Chain A
Amino acid sequence: MIRFDRVTKIYPRSGGAAALRDVTLNIAKGEFAFLTGPSGAGKSTILKLLYMEEQPTSGEVRVSGYNSKDISSRDVSKLRRRLGIVFQDFRLLEDRTAEGNVAFALEVTGVPRPLIPNKVARALTAVGLASKATAYPRELSGGEQQRVAFARALVNDPFVLIADEPTGNLDERATRGIFQLLRDINASGTAVLMATHNLELVRSSEYRCIEMNHGEVVYDSADVKQKAG
């Protein structure tokens, strides 16, 4: 479903330093994987390459039939409609309510207007925020705002949810709530790739862990299991 094949990424103004170095990895359909490592290890670069915000300097990224080598800008839009993306800073529109923010993802991708209210209500229910549909972001806690962002990411029924430090701005209780939400999302069949600094969260779960450092994959629990098997 997702494949990185010997991917190297050097940003134009980095003075030649590689953000990713010869990375090869697969993420299977319906899998849950953590992406860990210190700041600057290359986690965000992996995610950006996955949603084709960046192109590899060498190697190729394949996501659900799309290849980074020949993807057009129209296809990038099509691909992103099938991905759910969540960031640490929520990225909600302050002048829209929770349901307005979720609906926005549908409005700008050409979903017929009559279908929108139902889809929005379903997504907000899935993240446990049906009762706060008309609240503005400033009226919600950090955890609730992140749930709105998850609802927006889920509203198009993505095959993978990409979460870049989704608990980075949240307290412990909210973090646990969000993690449980991610488990539920994964249990319903959506793959989850979550970049995080929170090692406690990683250790406390049985999910796959890909650890990055200096742009390289230094540990992948899937490999360890394979070798052990």
Chain B
Amino acid sequence: MLSLRSAFRSFSRAPLLSLLSITTIAFSLFAFGLFGLVALNLRNALRTVEERVEIRAFVADKTPVERLIAVADDISKYPEIEHVDVVTQEQALARAKRELGEFKDVFESEFLPASLDIKLKPGFRDPATVRRTADRLRELEFVDDVRYGDEWITQLYRLRNIAGVAGAVLGLAFAAVAIIIIGATIRMAVLARAKEIAIMRFVGATDWFIRRPFLIEGSIKGILGGTLALILSYVAMRALQQYLHLETAFFDQRMAMLGVASGALMGLAGSAVSVGRHLRKV
């Protein structure tokens, strides 16, 4: 109780500096948050796209359908395969007519090759697995060609990774600044309370008791910074939705809590380092 009171008292002693440290933590986590949101929405987009990921292995003309069915049966036993459809030449033609209705007169004969249409299980739809599966299919002697939309999947994955890395780098840079600023505010708080701390020491207060209010102060600043970052991220997302008419997702409760907890951790780290260094000098 005494620790909590003195933690709050030091807020009122240096309100501007306290505000600065809260804002810096907020911006640090906001940077994490923004890029996190981009990564999150890209991941959601990827998930939708991934559902449509399909590998189509075109087979040589005159491959017996029975053979195709037997191979399809084998392939469907691969751990990454959800199901395999055998598409005969007639079915391929029918599908082309259906999908490209305006050109249906062009499709007269069975010039389209038969194929094995393969769907991968969720969790196996990343570019690497898709490529690996495609390569295995290429090894089958009756397979002429294997197609899958690898380029744009790779691009989306790359974008997601860039967003993740950019967010982490920017966020870490801000986090370092936040920790330094929190350290400075704690240093000021330690100096402002130097006399009190010296008295605590010689009447027999433990080190932990002396440190506690500073650690609480740092954590509270971190929690406030984290909450502010969450609000800023939400406002940014709403603005994007409103002005760019984008359907975007926001962090779920668990991720939001993680953001605030990261703030608390940042505050705690800054004050722990500073209090350790400066208490020795009092």
- Residues of chain A having any CB pair with chain B under 8 Å: 51, 53, 73-74, 77-83, 85, 91, 93, 104-105, 107-110, 152, 156
Which residue on B lies nearest to A96, using beta carbons?
Answer: B196
Which of A74, A79, A82, A107 is in CB contact (< 8 Å) with B2?
Answer: A107
A-side contacts of B2, CB under 8 Å: 107-108
B82 within 8 A of A: no
Docked Cα-Cα span, A203 to B1, in Å, equals 49
Stretch at the interface among B121-129, B180-188, B205-213: B205-213
B-side contacts of A53, CB under 8 Å: 201-202
Given contacts A80-B203, A93-B196, A152-B203, 15 further A-B contacts (CB under 8 A): A51-B202, A53-B201, A73-B206, A77-B204, A77-B205, A77-B206, A79-B204, A80-B202, A85-B203, A91-B199, A104-B199, A105-B203, A108-B200, A108-B205, A108-B209
Which residue on B lies nearest to A76, using beta carbons?
Answer: B204
Docked Cα-Cα span, A80 to B206, in Å, equals 10
Which of B198, B199, B207 is in CB contact (< 8 Å) with A77?
Answer: B207
- B199–A109 CB distance below 8 A: no
B195 within 8 A of A: yes
A-side contacts of B200, CB under 8 Å: 108
Which residue on B lies nearest to A84, using beta carbons?
Answer: B203
- A81–B203 CB distance below 8 A: yes
- Residues of chain B having any CB pair with chain A under 8 Å: 2, 195-196, 198-207, 209
- B203–A109 CB distance below 8 A: yes
- Chain B binding surface, main DSSP class: helix
Q: How far is the CB of B207 from chain A (nearest CB, A)?
A: 6
A-side contacts of B209, CB under 8 Å: 108, 110
B-side contacts of A79, CB under 8 Å: 204
Which residue on B lies nearest to A107, using beta carbons?
Answer: B2
29 A-B pairs whose Cβ atoms sit less than 8 Å apart in the complex: A51-B202, A53-B201, A73-B206, A73-B207, A74-B206, A74-B207, A77-B205, A77-B206, A77-B207, A80-B203, A80-B204, A81-B203, A82-B204, A83-B204, A85-B202, A91-B195, A91-B198, A91-B199, A93-B196, A93-B199, A105-B199, A105-B204, A107-B2, A108-B2, A109-B203, A109-B204, A109-B205, A152-B203, A156-B203
Docked Cα-Cα span, A104 to B206, in Å, equals 14
B-side contacts of A81, CB under 8 Å: 203-204
Docked Cα-Cα span, A79 to B200, in Å, equals 13
Interface centre among A74, A82, A104, A152 (most CB of B within 10 A): A104
Interface centre among B198, B204, B206 (most CB of A within 10 A): B204
Interchain pairs with CB closer than 8 A, number: 47
Q: How far is the CB of A65 from chain B (nearest CB, A)?
A: 15
B-side contacts of A74, CB under 8 Å: 206-207
Which residue on B lies nearest to A101, using beta carbons?
Answer: B199
B-side contacts of A93, CB under 8 Å: 195-196, 199
Q: How far is the CB of A63 from chain B (nearest CB, A)?
A: 13
Q: How far is the CB of B108 from chain A (nearest CB, A)?
A: 92
Docked Cα-Cα span, A77 to B211, in Å, equals 14
Q: How far is the CB of B248 from chain A (nearest CB, A)?
A: 51
Q: How far is the CB of B192 from chain A (nearest CB, A)?
A: 12
Interface centre among B195, B198, B199, B200 (most CB of A within 10 A): B199
Q: How far is the CB of B2 from chain A (nearest CB, A)?
A: 6
- B203–A78 CB distance below 8 A: no
Question: Which 10 A-B residue pairings sit nearest by Cβ, starting from the closest?
Answer: A81-B204, A80-B204, A108-B205, A105-B203, A77-B206, A85-B202, A77-B204, A108-B200, A109-B204, A73-B207
Interface centre among B2, B196, B202 (most CB of A within 10 A): B202
Docked Cα-Cα span, A89 to B203, in Å, equals 16
A-side contacts of B195, CB under 8 Å: 91, 93
- B199–A156 CB distance below 8 A: no
B-side contacts of A110, CB under 8 Å: 209
A-side contacts of B206, CB under 8 Å: 73-74, 77
A-side contacts of B196, CB under 8 Å: 93
Which residue on B lies nearest to A104, using beta carbons?
Answer: B199
A-side contacts of B204, CB under 8 Å: 77-83, 105, 109, 156
Which residue on A lies nearest to B196, using beta carbons?
Answer: A93
Docked Cα-Cα span, A73 to B209, in Å, equals 12
Docked Cα-Cα span, A29 to B207, in Å, equals 29
Docked Cα-Cα span, A185 to B224, in Å, equals 51
Q: How far is the CB of A207 from chain B (nearest CB, A)?
A: 24
B-side contacts of A78, CB under 8 Å: 204
Docked Cα-Cα span, A104 to B203, in Å, equals 9
Q: How far is the CB of B227 from chain A (nearest CB, A)?
A: 31
Interface centre among A51, A78, A79, A80 (most CB of B within 10 A): A80
Which residue on A lies nearest to B207, using beta carbons?
Answer: A73
Interface centre among B195, B206, B209 (most CB of A within 10 A): B206
